[in-house]
Amino acid sequence: MRQERAVRTRQALMCSAAESFERHGYVRARLATISKDAGASLGALHFHFENKAALADAVERAAATSLHRAARVAQRPAMNALQRLTGISYALAGQLHRDVVARAGLRLGGEPGRPRHRDLRQEWQECVRQLLTEARAEGLLADEVDLAAAVSTIAATTTGLGLLARKDAWSASPDSLARFWRLVMPSLAAPAFEPGLFAIAG
């Protein structure tokens, strides 16, 4: 019973911390407020987390786990690289829309005033780069596509839509993302592959 209570307290603290990090940022988040909103004492917070940095690291690890799991579930063996890219983008947007821990973890990677252990936005950008590189090798990209520009545009836009989810739920919705892909895909995909790609993007 005591162990179950400790698990619930730790989870409540992480959810409260995620809400605070998302709303105020790492530097302005206060441990006293986080513990109070979680219904726990400051002593209980320090029992589970040494300091604010340790709490932020735990939130970021939990966010990484949930986002990576969503990305794995979204992929199917028969998908080509561009279909996997759009599928993963929908899965990540959905997770960000539902999960404050995921949104906070994504924000924490770029927060000033905090030692950086990992950056989930950078990890997503590298995933986009890898999938577009595979797409080019598969002959799926139009010849004129600037790979670096495509990577930065797709990563920044999809991440931005996800981070807007708290203030504007529509931003991370499938409809919003579908509009983005319908705008981008005609200039991204080779003409021979474009129609099949719209099926998954729209």
Supply the CATH number for residue 112's domain: 1.10.357.10
Instruction: Determine the average pLDDT of the residues in 104-121.
Output: 81
What's this model's pTM, rounded to 2 decimal places? Answer: 0.84
pLDDT of residue 166: 63
Residue range of the domain that includes 78: 60-201
pLDDT beyond 80 at 114: no
Q: Is residue 25 part of a domain?
A: no
Contact (CB, 8 A) for 9 and 42 = no
Q: Is residue 55 part of a domain?
A: no
* Mean pLDDT over the full length of the chain: 86
pLDDT score, position 74: 86
Which one has a higher pLDDT value, 17 or 92? 17
Rounded average pLDDT over 153-168: 78
Which residues, other chains included, contact 165 with Cβ-Cβ below 8 Å and sequence gap of 6+? 93, 96, 97, 103, 171, 172
> In this predicted structure, what is the pLDDT of residue 152?
94
